[in-house]
Structure 1
Amino acid sequence: MAASPTRSPGRPSVTDHAAIERAAFALFQEQGFDDTTMDHIARAVGVGKRTLFRYFPSKNDIPWGQFDQSLAHFSRQFDAVPPTTPLADAVHGCVVAFNTFDESARDQHRFRMRLILQTPALQAHSAIKYEAWRRVIAEYVARRLSLSAGDHLPRLVGHVSLAVSVAAYEQWLDEPASSVTDLLDEQLTALRTYLA
């Protein structure tokens, strides 16, 4: 098939978030996160830097993938919970479901989480992402309890859920044979048992 006359020879007609992530992760692994630039990634993908910025506003956003879409899905998961479901069960189930991924993506997800949790340059950016994730939970808890998302209890549930999730991921990174969803389920159950 003939190439489009408006496209440079050798340049792919389209790219996507996944292709950019794969190229970026390969570079991060090869030369380190700090030493990889957006120029390096753009060259590896075969696109201009301006095109790259349309997919990811910064290098720090790449390890987070399509996080805004994931958060929208997370919120929809809570919206789908029957109103008769106990609040703790709803939060527990949605947090585990949010962290469920296809087994074929395990290695890439492990590398993603290692970057997010262990790269000092990403910590400030990660705090912004964590806050958005906690807010989804706080807003759900607030709706269920007729409170404001900024009230103490909804905010606390968001923070505790994040802490349990981070602890599960840290354990998963240390124990490659483990399952992050099993660890999350166990730790959320243990916390609920302890608090009861």
Structure 2
Amino acid sequence: MSSRGRPVATSPAQIEAAAFRLFAERGFEAVTMSEIAAEVGVGRRTLFRYFESKNDIPWGQFDQTLEHFRAILRELPQDRPVHEVVQQGVLAFNEFDPAAEPPHRERMRLILETPTLQAHSVLRYAEWRSVIAEYVAERLDLRPDDLLPRTAGGVALTLAISAYEAWLEDPAADLADLLTATMSALRSYLAD
């Protein structure tokens, strides 16, 4: 049985690798989608089938990543307090293959330190927060847009970004340790 259509000419990983090479050489702003397509050896239309915009490329396959995040939260022991599951979920979500291309540190530096990407990041951050809000709402029999689930999502995101900023400033720092420290420090502060 033969498949219909053209064979796959590239993959999201190949596009990301090529784009990050170009970003490193010339800066994010100076690189166009046409140049990324040429680097990969595909047409612009093909490239847009994988990523809606250049701003989406640093985020990778973010929709799939969020589905993985939801699965992590569901798979953790549900007899634990909600805040512990959220903390463990955030830690597990932020485990990355050290051999990944592009390296996770490079990806996050681009996302957090490129002004053009900041506006686009707001959209992605809202999606990330909603994963936690949905989980907290389900556990506490609330709606995701109720105040407590929304606050939990917002606080978790802020703590994660703080940890990432510290990680980017210190090449020797361990991301998991920083995530644990930020989340634990706030819980301790609030308990006092």
Name which of 97, 106, 120 aligns with 1:102: 97
Q: What residue in structure 2 maps to residue 49 of structure 1? A: 44
TM-score (normalised: structure 2): 0.93
Q: Taking structure 1 as the reference length, what is the TM-score of the superposition?
A: 0.91
The separation in 2 between residues aligned to 1:37 and 1:160, in whole angstroms, is 35
1:193 to 183, 188, 192: 188
Matching of residue 27 in structure 1 with residue 50 in structure 2: no
Shift of 1:107: 6.3
Give the secondary-structure state (helix, strand or coil) at the position aligned to 2:100: helix
Shift of 1:177: 1.1
Question: What one-letter code is carried by the residue in structure 2 that aligns with 1:170?
Answer: E
Show CA shifts across 1:34-93 (max 9, x none).
110000000000111111111111000000001000000101111123321111110000
C-alpha distance in structure 1 between counterparts of 2:77 and 2:178, whole Å: 25
Q: 2: CA distance between counterparts of 1:107 and 1:160?
A: 28
Structure 2 distance, partners of 1:177, 1:15, is 35
Matched residue, 1:17: 12
Task: Give the distance between the partners of 2:12 and 2:177, measured in 1 at CA.
Answer: 28
Question: % of aligned pairs identical?
Answer: 56
User: 1:167 deviation in Å?
Assistant: 0.5
Please list every run of 5 or more consecutive structure 1 residues that lacks an aligned counterpart in the other structure: 1-5
Structure 2 gaps of 5+ residues are none
* CA RMSD in angstroms, aligned pairs only: 1.7
Give the ranges of 4+ consecutive aligned residues of structure 1 lying more than 2 Å apart after TM superposition.
Answer: none
The question of 1:161 aligning with 2:150 is answered no
The match for 1:112 is: 107
* 2:177 aligned residue: 182
Q: Give, in whole Å, the separation in 2 of the partners of 1:185 and 1:148.
A: 27
Number of aligned residue pairs: give it. 187
User: How far apart are the structure 1 equivalents of 2:130 and 2:26?
Assistant: 35
Letter in 2 for 1:73: H
**1:71-86 matched pairs, under 5 angstroms:** 71-86=66-81
Segment of structure 1 superposing worse, 141-150 or 107-116: 107-116
